[in-house]
Amino acid sequence: MSKKIIGFSKLSKQEKIEWICTNYLDDCQADIEILEKYLNTDINIQSIHDAFSENTLSNFYFPFSIAPNFLINNNDYCLPMAIEESSVVAAASNSAKFWYDRGGFIAKTVSIEKIGQIHFLFRGDFKKINSFVNENKTKLINSTSSISLKMKGRGGGINSITLIDKSSEYNNYYQLSISFNTIDSMGANYINSCLEIITKKMIEEIESSNDLTEQEKEINIIMSILSNSTPNCIVEAKAECKIDEIGNINGLNGNEFIEKYFHAIEISKIDLGRAVTNNKGIMNGIDSVLIATGNDFRAVEAAIHSYASKDGKYKGLSECSIDNNIFSIKLKLPIAIGTVGGITDLHPLVKLSHKILGKPNSSSLMEIIAVAGLAQNFGAIKSLITTGIQKGHMKMHLINLLKKYNANEEQINNATDFFKERKITNKAVQDFLNSS
């Protein structure tokens, strides 16, 4: 029997739960209890979370952690990180501590441009649509003045409008590419609203144009939407120290360490399999700070991965150089985010994250996030080229395995001792529990 339902969103939360139970769960009393346990007892907080999305039944939470000891541009930071992967915060903290005593991280916002696009089909003379756009640019920009007041007051708004001829790639396809400065907001709503207004104005102006033919006036607007490709919203982070300040790392001396490190980075430039994994490690750091600060991690992920292919081949994003006795690690990538708007003014933990970070503006937050990515990459490679990743990872994951197999408190305490010097695997944990 079909389980199609019309009007699910109109049901109350209770009714939605009942519907799910009846249609998709068998014995659902325990499942209902789980959903209820994850609801917040403070109805104000719960209503904030309910409003973030549609059809909410409960909350789904991540651990909210802190990675201390980040020295960024000579300022101390504790990084709020929301992530479920056991070893990420530990690796970030470890890298932060390592670099703290070696000058910390230096980060710089390079550019902050965001782009909106109006995609349309036009059958006619390119020169004519080009002069139409040039002649009407100011009118198109001014059409957004009512919603641009605040943004302009803060020094932002629309920078420019450019017509791009894409017709050689797709018949009759053109694009208005509109450049924005959204200051401290991510600006998605502002950009999309501007685009819709500009689109409407463009149609009006085309209709009343004396220069375009009737056929040319039949412009077909396909869509108007911001672009998540942000190659001009760029931030750089780096850390460097003298090679002889590196010391002994997990059995490797400074020179052995940097040599292996260098090879690891070079491999990520030529091998796709390694490039993706290298960048995944970077995203561990970036995403967890993005989530904790209420930013759209899907947008940043999409932008960063496309940036990783900017040379026509997907590559590892981090850099490493060894020059004149200086070992240096670097990361340069696009991070389009905001420190106002969206859920940044609503989610209590997000607000707390911003407070912990000293209420940064969006440029400073871009820098902090890039450092989180670089630190994470350093932590991962440092483990990979020395002890291997599993030692630290499984140490952190031990508690999850013990819980999975219903270990009691005594077994958990004993296991921590037992596995200090032993290899942690799924089977080893099961064997330990069976024999204890």
The number of angstroms, rounded, from the C-alpha of 364 to the middle of its chain's C-alpha atoms is 15
Residue 280 sits in the site that holds ligand MEV (CB under 6 A): yes
How many other C-beta atoms lie within 10 A of the C-beta of residue 373?
29
Residues within window 381-400 making contact with ligand MEV, judged by CB under 6 A = 381, 384, 389
What CA–CA distance (Å, rounded) separates 84 from 306? 25
Q: How far is the CB of 162 from ligand MEV (least distance, A)?
A: 38
- Closest to ligand MEV by CB, 197 or 258: 258
Q: Name the residue among 397, 396, 391, 399 with its Cα closest to residue 415.
A: 399
Residue 284 near residue 322, CB atoms below 8 Å: no
Q: Which stretch binds ligand MEV (CB under 6 A): 104-112, 126-134, 272-280, 398-406?
A: 272-280
**Position 402 contacts ligand MEV (CB under 6 A):** no
Q: Is 308 in the site for ligand MEV (CB under 6 A)?
A: no
Q: Can residue 284 be called a binding residue for ligand MEV (CB under 6 A)?
A: yes
Instruction: In whole angstroms, give the CA distance from residue 167 to residue 423.
Output: 60
Residue least distant from ligand MEV (Cβ): 281
Smallest gap, in angstroms, from Cβ of residue 381 to ligand MEV?
Answer: 6
Residue written as token pair 């561990």: 284
Place of tokens 């220069």: 211
278, 288, 344, 353: residue in contact with ligand MEV (rule CB under 6 A):
278
Number of amino acids touching ligand MEV (CB under 6 A): 10
Using the rule CB under 6 A, give the single segment among 39-47, 254-262, 376-384, 413-421 that binds ligand MEV. Answer: 376-384
Which of the residues 70 through 89 are near ligand MEV (CB under 6 A)?
85
Token pair listed for 211: 């220069």
Q: How far is CA 81 from CA 49, 185, 294, 407, in A?
A: 19, 20, 11, 28
Give me the least distance between CB of 95 and ligand MEV, in Å please: 12
In terms of CB distance, is 413 or 425 closer to ligand MEV?
Answer: 425
Least distance (Å) between residue 383 CB and ligand MEV: 7
**Is there binding between residue 267 and ligand MEV (CB under 6 A)?**
no
Three-state helix/strand/coil letters over 75-140: EEEEEEEECCCCCHHHHHHHHHHHHHCCCCEEEEECCCCEEEEEEEECCCCHHHHHHHHHHHHHHH
Q: Which of 104, 281, 334, 392 binds ligand MEV (CB under 6 A)?
A: 281
- Please give the residue ranges that form the binding site for ligand MEV (CB under 6 A): 85, 277-278, 280-281, 284, 380-381, 384, 389
